[in-house]
Amino acid sequence: MHLSKLEAMRTPQIYFRQDVLCETLGGNTCPLLTITAMPESKSSDHICQFRNRPLIFLSARVHPGETNASWVMKGTLEFLMGSSPLAVSLREAYIFKIVPMLNPDGVINGNHRCSLSGEDLNRQWQNPNPELHPTIYHTKGLLQYLAYIQRAPLVFCDYHGHSRKKNVFMYGCSVKETVWQSDISATSSDLHEDLGYRTLPKILSQIAPAFSMASSSFVVERSKESTARVVVWREIGVKRSYTMESTLCGCDQGKYKGLQIGTRELEEMGSQFCMALLRLKRLTGLRNHQHLLDMESDIIGTHTKPVRSVMKNLLQSHRVVCTNQAKY
């Protein structure tokens, strides 16, 4: 129903494509959406610019009981299909690949966390089975193909809901922060880690009242090695790979402090995620200029520092043990 609404919002200036990524175990379809701006003309320069826009890859609802993830996704999709100048700029800046519901079987059949195979699909990303986990298998295959043709996403984000923690926050991936919070013996040469993975959540903390940077974590844990954000970071090579968690409760900071969060606030969060991507584009578009690094450092509140780390082990090993484990 909502996809039909999006189709009705399309204008001649909007490239909107709906494909079937795959069929699920229960015989349901898993939609794949592509949203961007149409090229200005059929000239080779405009077609080239159209094809070479950076990719943003979004997904949601891998856990059926996390209904708030779909409300955030609704806010994102309706913003992207909107007519505001910001929406126009965002479509001109990026190509969006979106899987709005990774577990339609679970949603249709009233499951809370699992698929029809009785498994948590967000623990199958390392080695998904094409028969038992088709949506994960084909989503990962698409990401691998994009990486193969050197079109890996600039940002990957999987929308979730959290049953215990308050606010909206992110889990990301950092070698440095994992080393700091683990018992790994760091004996190799100094590592200079690009802190760009912190930029997007920091922007969100500045523009989205429900978002909390303090609640976010960038530690890679052994127990999460098969989740989307870790596999996409480790195997696909996407530095800005996140899980974005939205509370099922309320907020304890900002203008929504002490209030129960509702669908309006969740949709607002989805649209603010889009605005954060636009600001990110303005930063990354200046990457060849030294002052961008200063701007980005100001945004994330710190500067790149060397750290002694076993980077190869962290990127390849599946036995990272951390003292502070994220709950999702």
Residues taking part in catalysis: 245
| Kind and range of the H or E run holding 276 | helix 263-284
159 closest CA partner among 99, 119, 118, 208:
99
- Tell me the residue type at 256: Y
**C-alpha distances out from residue 189 to 186, 306, 309, 323, Å:** 9, 9, 7, 23
User: For residues 296 and 284, what is the distance between their CA atoms, to the nearest angstrom?
Assistant: 9
Q: How far apart are CA 46 and CA 27, in angstroms?
A: 40
Q: Please state whether beta strands 168-171 and 306-308 pair in parallel, antiparallel, or not at all (unpaired).
A: unpaired
**CB of 174 within 8 A of CB of 193?**
yes
User: Distances in Å between the alpha carbon of 306 and those of 188, 194, 195, 278, 309?
Assistant: 12, 10, 11, 30, 9
Region class of 146: left (phi > 0), else alpha (psi between -120 and 50), else beta: alpha
**Cα 210 to Cα 174, 205, 213, 245, 304, distances in angstroms:** 24, 8, 10, 11, 28
Q: Which H helix or E strand runs over 313?
A: helix 311-316
